Structure 1
Amino acid sequence: MSYSTLFSVLLLCLVIGSCAWLCWRYWQERQYRRRPYVAPAVLDWLLHTPDPDTPPLHRVAVLGDPGAVATDGTDPILQLLSHWQHETGPDGTIIILGDNIYPTGLPAPEHPARAAAEQRFNALLAALGQYPGTIVLLSGNHDWNKGRPDGWEYLQRQEAYVREHLPRAHYLPMGGQPGPVSLQLAEGVLLIVLNTQWWVQTGARPPADAKEPFRQLQQLLEQNRHQRIVVAGHHPVYSNALHGGKFTAKQHVFPLTTVNKRAYVPLPLIGSLLPLYRKLVGAAEDMAHPRYRKMRRRLLRVLHQYPGIIYASGHDHNLQYFQKHGGHYLVSGSGSKTAFVQKGGSATFVHEHQGFFSLDFYAHGETWLRTLEPAANSSLQPAPEVFRLRLQPIHEVAPALVPVSAFK
């Protein structure tokens, strides 16, 4: 057999094998896409509920990526948030986890996209302004003009807009600083905010030592081990979705749909190179990217020391919950968009659906995670819960501190 014939046979086998794999993947995805996945270990979650006669001490809604909400009063997430506000009362906190304005944050007043950006942001701020409790906003990569060199200007413009239109809200950390910044939400419940975009941002940003925020975070966690702590940042540290390197079979055939959902340009075989690149090397917003990877590694070195910690993020447009090293890691980024999320792996729960998580803190020490999603019939009432879980309490054993050299 000649080399050319052998090459042709091998190429044909590669094509057939790739097609078979993609068909198998597509069939698998059809079985679970847009359906809630719950890990086998907690399939009995429906049997467990918090005490209905004991109201929470404090409730925290963590909602990410609401930057494309409808502006005509019909947005299902804003309606769901309104229901949560009414149910919760003043003893609660709403944390907006960044990507507050799509596609590129708040442009300059003379920019042609300014009017549309203001309209979307005003709808979100109006919904938040009705709530008498605590309101906290973070920034995401889209708020920094998708991480472009002039992103800091966009961030400062958005922060100033919030100070003007919703002055009682906390926009944290201020001025684009990396943080950490702490905020006491209730007795025994502490919020710590990180500006994770600072570590992956290109161009201008507030000057700071890249390692020092993690030292400060560790000090805060050590000083507040007696409290229940929520650490909030835009970027997830665990994810079964796009930014964690997970792609659909369709994205292997039509890779440009990862950038634009309407870009159906078929590139079989060659198209798999883009998902492979984003999984192994990564765009700036992906976990695989060197800057993101370094930030994630340093952050996890701290968080893994403190069992019971809750880390809440957005960025990926779905709902995910992971329990790792005794900590609780949330991705709550489906505030206005949804995108593929892969089931299984180390995830306890995932769902490709609009919604957000609520953390209910009780005075007797229990903390419950609830999944809130809008009803399909546009009712003001939420859909039945697809997942809830009593989170493990704070561990009593003192952690072994990581030495300063570990943050390199």
Structure 2
Amino acid sequence: MLIYFLIILPVLFLAFLLFSYWQERKYKRKPFYRLSDIGWQHSAPSPEAMLVHSVAAFGDVGAIATDGTDPVLKLLHQWQEKTGEAGTILFLGDNLYPIGLPEEGNRHRKMAEDRLNLLLDSIKSYPGKGIFLSGNHDWLKGGKGGYRQMLRQQNYVLTRTKDAQSYLPPDGCPGPSTVQLAEGLLLVVINTQWWVQRGEKPLGAKYGCPYDTIEDFFTALHKVLRDNRHQRIVIAAHHPLYSNALHGGRFTIKQHIFPLTAAHKRFYIPLPIFGSLYPFYRKLFGAHEDMAHRKYKKMRKRLLRIFHRYSNIIYVAGHDHNLQHFEVQQNHYIVSGSGSKTAFVKKGGRATFTLESLGFFVLNYYDNGEVWMEARIVSEESADAQVVFRKKLESVLAPQRQIA
């Protein structure tokens, strides 16, 4: 009897792994839609509505190709041509892989400069806005010395754009920084890396930050949201508050069986059962950049406690290398982190839409007060962007008049 048990149990476990792997492969790179959003193709803005402003949420672009062939940059240029001055590009952090902009002489310096110059060139002649945020890789992967690494990138950007609003929040402070994009549409930028950063991080007058304690930040954020309840608010940050991907504790079966692929994609050394220890640790306790980590968890809890008091918020972030949308308590949470890389994202859960694909989200704000969200990806059949999801983000706000 014991022999049968020892045979059957591993066979059932292996069958489960194979079935799960087959499921993941079957739905890999295919969009997931919540049941109520399956007919999204039949929804569109009113033909009479005039576009007031468009926002491109362009996240985790730090590995873009610099030879002119990058497919996502081409889609961004198409969007720029159509929007003109009525557009804002949000570079949502992790602008430079692997360690941001290092000092002169570092082996990563030239590639980092080439990539950053390419991004800066994309907004140099653009009549709209271009705003950079910083992510963990821009802060030296969140390690000690990251503050100076981030300042080096900020100064590089500001020197070339001559625009104080092109890198926010300034000097690595928590924020919030506000930009009025159009009448009725306010952008609020916060530096979520501040909470999870190890080593030196700025706060107080010594660093040029307006607050001496982090509690003052939460008070200021709450005041901005309260004073602007009559507007649609877009909050931009690097770290998501909801995610069905790696930083949200979601792992593939391959990552359970071949855990060393997390260190290098070619380390296919099978470690079943033992290999699950690493994913379980990331899910339950988390690395510094995971939602399960105590610092991230504390930040997320405080932010959501504030956001849930309002119903006019669209929160856009990167960090996870895929496209995701969540609708929670009349607010919208977007992950747009596949500007240059893609990674597994789990279907279902609280998500209304998920997809592992290169691309980015666009938010279109119209003169009737409506905001429409689009997920645009690289098409295999055409040079134009393929829209794989569109949704009107419901609003209780009064209509706003068009800005000339």
Normalised to the residue count of structure 2, the TM-score between the two structures is: 0.93
Query: Any conservation in 2 of the 1:106–1:118 contact (CA below 8 Å)?
Result: yes
Query: Any conservation in 1 of the 2:72–2:339 contact (CA below 8 Å)?
Result: yes
Residues 119-162 of structure 1, C-alpha deviation per residue, up to 9 Å, x if partnerless?
11111211222311011110000000100011001100000000
Question: How far off is 1:171 after superposition?
Answer: 0.3
Aligned partner of 1:104 in structure 2 is 99
Residues 340-399 of structure 1, C-alpha deviation per residue, up to 9 Å, x if partnerless?
0011111000010011111011111111001111222562x212x111001110469xxx
2:317, 2:301 → 1: CA distance? 16
Please state whether the residue corresponding to 1:358 is helix, strand or coil: strand
Query: Any conservation in 1 of the 2:316–2:334 contact (CA below 8 Å)?
Result: yes
Please state whether the residue corresponding to 1:57 is helix, strand or coil: strand
Query: Any conservation in 2 of the 1:253–1:268 contact (CA below 8 Å)?
Result: yes
Q: What is the identity percentage for the equivalent residue pairs of Structure 1 and Structure 2?
A: 52
Return the letter of the residue paired with 1:321.
Answer: H
2:344 corresponds to 1:349 = no
Which structure 2 segments of 5+ residues have no match?
A: 204-211, 399-404
Distance of aligned partners of 1:378 and 1:101 in 2 relative to their CA distance in 1, 3 Å threshold: farther
1:212, 1:264 → 2: CA distance? 48
Aligned partner of 1:26 in structure 2 is 21
Residues 219-251 of structure 1, C-alpha deviation per residue, up to 9 Å, x if partnerless?
100000001100111000000000001111110
Return the letter of the residue paired with 1:265.
Answer: I
Return the letter of the residue paired with 1:263.
Answer: F
Question: How far off is 1:11 after superposition?
Answer: 6.2
Question: How far off is 1:320 after superposition?
Answer: 0.2
Q: How does 1:299-314 map to 2 (within 5 A)?
A: 299-314=303-318
Question: How far off is 1:263 after superposition?
Answer: 2.2
Query: Any conservation in 2 of the 1:59–1:88 contact (CA below 8 Å)?
Result: yes
2:363 corresponds to 1:359 = yes
Distance of aligned partners of 1:123 and 1:11 in 2 relative to their CA distance in 1, 3 Å threshold: farther
Aligned partner of 1:80 in structure 2 is 75
Aligned partner of 2:283 in structure 1 is 279
2:33 corresponds to 1:50 = no
Question: How far off is 1:16 after superposition?
Answer: 3.3
Q: How does 1:200-349 map to 2 (within 5 A)?
A: 200-207=196-203, 208-349=212-353
Please state whether the residue corresponding to 1:328 is helix, strand or coil: strand
**Which segment is superposed worse, 274-283 or 109-118?**
109-118
Query: Any conservation in 2 of the 1:39–1:348 contact (CA below 8 Å)?
Result: yes
Aligned partner of 2:184 in structure 1 is 188
2:75, 2:144 → 1: CA distance? 36
Aligned partner of 1:174 in structure 2 is 170
2:68 corresponds to 1:64 = no
Query: Any conservation in 2 of the 1:309–1:394 contact (CA below 8 Å)?
Result: no
Aligned partner of 1:135 in structure 2 is 130
Normalised to the residue count of structure 1, the TM-score between the two structures is: 0.92
Question: How far off is 1:200 after superposition?
Answer: 0.2
Return the letter of the residue paired with 2:342.
Answer: T
Aligned partner of 1:390 in structure 2 is 392
Please state whether the residue corresponding to 2:388 is helix, strand or coil: coil
1:199, 1:19 → 2: CA distance? 41
Distance of aligned partners of 1:253 and 1:307 in 2 relative to their CA distance in 1, 3 Å threshold: same
2:114, 2:6 → 1: CA distance? 53
Return the letter of the residue paired with 2:310.
Answer: Y
Please state whether the residue corresponding to 2:130 is helix, strand or coil: strand
Question: How far off is 1:266 after superposition?
Answer: 1.6
Please state whether the residue corresponding to 1:142 is helix, strand or coil: coil
2:126, 2:379 → 1: CA distance? 22
Return the letter of the residue paired with 1:219.
Answer: K
Residues 169-188 of structure 1, C-alpha deviation per residue, up to 9 Å, x if partnerless?
52000000011111111111
2:148 corresponds to 1:153 = yes
Aligned partner of 1:119 in structure 2 is 114
Q: Considering only aligned residues, what root-mean-square deviation do their CA atoms show, in Å?
A: 1.6
Aligned partner of 2:195 in structure 1 is 199
Query: Any conservation in 1 of the 2:369–2:397 contact (CA below 8 Å)?
Result: no
Return the letter of the residue paired with 1:382.
Answer: A
1:288, 1:166 → 2: CA distance? 37
1:364, 1:42 → 2: CA distance? 23
Aligned partner of 2:208 in structure 1 is none
Please state whether the residue corresponding to 2:221 is helix, strand or coil: helix
1:97, 1:334 → 2: CA distance? 11
How many residues align structurally?
A: 389
Query: Any conservation in 2 of the 1:242–1:316 contact (CA below 8 Å)?
Result: yes
Which structure 1 segments of 5+ residues have no match?
A: 397-408
Aligned partner of 1:368 in structure 2 is 372
Question: How far off is 1:97 after superposition?
Answer: 0.4
